Amino acid sequence: MAKPAKTFVCSACGSVFPKWAGRCEACQAWNTLAEQEAPRTLPGGIKETARRAGAKIEFVGLEGITPPPPRVPTTISEFDRVLGGGLVPASVVLVGGDPGIGKSTLLLQASAALGRAGQKVIYISGEESVDQIRLRAARLGLSKSPVALAAATQLGDILASLAQVPDAALVVIDSIQTMWTDGVDSAPGSVTQVRAAAFELIRAAKTQGFSLLLVGHVTKDGGLAGPRVLEHMVDVVLHFEGDRGHQFRILRGVKNRFGATDEIGVFEMTGQGLSQVTNPSALFLAERRGNVSGSAVFAGLEGSRPVLVEIQCLLSANPSGSPRRSVIGWDSGRLNMLLAVLEARCGLKLAMNDVYLNVAGGLRVSEPAADLAVAAALISAATDVPTDPEMIFFGEIGLSGELRQVAQAELRLKEGAKLGFARAATPKRVAGGAAKIAVPKTLSLVEIGHLTDLVGVVTAGKKPGQKEE
């Protein structure tokens, strides 16, 4: 019998190659090719699994109304918010995050909450023993919750056991990288094993109708480890973000077939586990001091939730000719662009300064609407003049220094008014543009058309535009 052929698959993009190489030719990533066994083929190149005759496929039209999928709330509102309202039966959720960030703690709390609500919950760990899980449950005060625990890694045993529990509502696998099947000739955690184990578990979830929560390891770059096809196989992908030395944790929805993406849930790590933060804006601004230069409040949007965060900037003279750019929570490339625009369009001399930029609270901001707040913080730090403590900022900046409108301005303004801010610096609306937005009565707009106007607002209190009636 011929020896099975071997192929090599890239764990970053899923491309397949006949031989190993140090760099993937498709995505240019280094050291991502892993060996896997190629599927056996019949003479003529036909796969062995494709021998059966094809069945007729039924085609339907686009008309028709499908009711929304039923939801099973976990009673953890921040978790349910990211999921889109709760767990969908027969859905598969992949949760990734750095080691020690709180993935197992969150899923144990969600499992205990569903168990107390009368649902049948199974928690299977391949990394910890049953005693270790019990110790965590006792520390979190969850020992009395009806959750069925098991410590196993052999996929065949797990599937046979799950088949004996037809009424299970939720199954947690911690983690998918520890599962293995003897039908695949490779080590646990390899690309082939992860793909095969995930496929069998997903098929069991779709067949029996239980919700499946998979914990996934991450690489040093923060991406989910294993084959990229794993993210395409599941229904929901959640990333657990945050610094282990910081108390805040952000659960971000990256993919969701049953709800909106980019939704976030905010948690705080305490001695009793993860507690929900229902008003993250107030928490992110709780320690803010309004009389310090280099600070500006950004009215951001995460999914459908408006969030106010403080942008902090510090400038330090560096005449050596090699200035440093240190950024935490924002895009360093966009910071370099803003520095160039401020020098070219506003005349600010920033090239010989070290620039340190931080988004307070540990939140990662990715939307271009933060440009105006970052620019205000940079101008404030360069001129040593504090920004207006009762003003929020949002808007996108172009290379010529013009300001552009951003989405969901009304939600941002309402969040600022709710937290007591009196003014909002926004891009100037152009004639024939979007419809007039509703501005809260307690908030006045400072419309800015160019970065030079922003310099005047920060340094001299100049307020272009009129107060909305």
Instruction: Using alpha carbons only, give the angle 351, 365, 327 rounded to the nearest 5 degrees.
Output: 35
Coil, strand or helix at 267: strand
Predicted local confidence at residue 411, as pLDDT? 93
Calpha distance 311→298 (Å, rounded) = 7
Segment 381-401, tens digit of pLDDT: 999 999 999 999 999 999 999
Segment 339-368, tens digit of pLDDT: 999 999 998 988 889 999 999 888 889 899
Question: For residues 54-63, b (16+ Cβ closer than 10 Å) or e, as one string?
Answer: eeeeeeeeee
Mean pLDDT across 368-376: 96
Predicted local confidence at residue 467, as pLDDT? 41
Residues forming a β-bridge with 326: 356
Predicted local confidence at residue 466, as pLDDT? 40
Which is nearest to 345 in space by CA: 369, 375, 385? Answer: 375
Predicted local confidence at residue 123, as pLDDT? 97
Number of helices (H), then strands (E), belonging to the chain: the values are 11, 21
Residue 428 has pLDDT above 70, yes or no: yes
Q: Which residue has the higher pLDDT, 40 or 7?
A: 7
CATH of domain 282-460: 3.30.230.10
Cα dihedral: 2, 4, 8, 13 (round 10): 130
Calpha distance 113→145 (Å, rounded) = 8
The answer to whether the beta carbons of residues 83 and 93 sit under 8 Å apart is: yes
Coil, strand or helix at 313: strand
Q: Across all residues in the chain, what is the average pLDDT?
A: 87
CA separation, residue 44 to residues 47, 73, 149 (Å): 9, 51, 48
Predicted local confidence at residue 382, as pLDDT? 93
Q: List the strands of the sheet with 211-216, edge to edge.
A: 148-151, 121-125, 170-174, 211-216, 92-97, 236-241, 248-256, 264-270, 273-276
Predicted local confidence at residue 205, as pLDDT? 96
* pLDDT tier for residue 303 given thresholds of 50, 70 and 90: confident
Predicted local confidence at residue 351, as pLDDT? 86
Taking each helix axis from N to C end, the angle separating 103-116 and 130-140, rounded to the nearest 10 degrees, works out to 70
CA-based Rg of the chain, rounded to a whole angstrom? 26
Q: Which residue has the higher pLDDT, 198 or 303?
A: 198
Rounded to 5 degrees, what are φ and ψ at 113? Answer: -65, -40
| Domain at 77-278: CATH architecture | 3-Layer(aba) Sandwich (3.40)
Mean pLDDT across 316-331: 90
Calpha distance 96→226 (Å, rounded) = 11
Calpha distance 298→391 (Å, rounded) = 9
Among 39-43, 174-178, 411-415, where is mean pLDDT lowest? 39-43
Taking each helix axis from N to C end, the angle separating 371-383 and 332-346, rounded to the nearest 10 degrees, works out to 60
Residue 256 has pLDDT above 70, yes or no: yes
CA separation, residue 110 to residues 122, 171, 367 (Å): 12, 11, 30
Residue 179 has pLDDT above 90, yes or no: yes
Calpha distance 238→225 (Å, rounded) = 13
* pLDDT tier for residue 18 given thresholds of 50, 70 and 90: confident
Strands (E), 195-277: 211-216, 236-241, 248-256, 264-270, 273-276
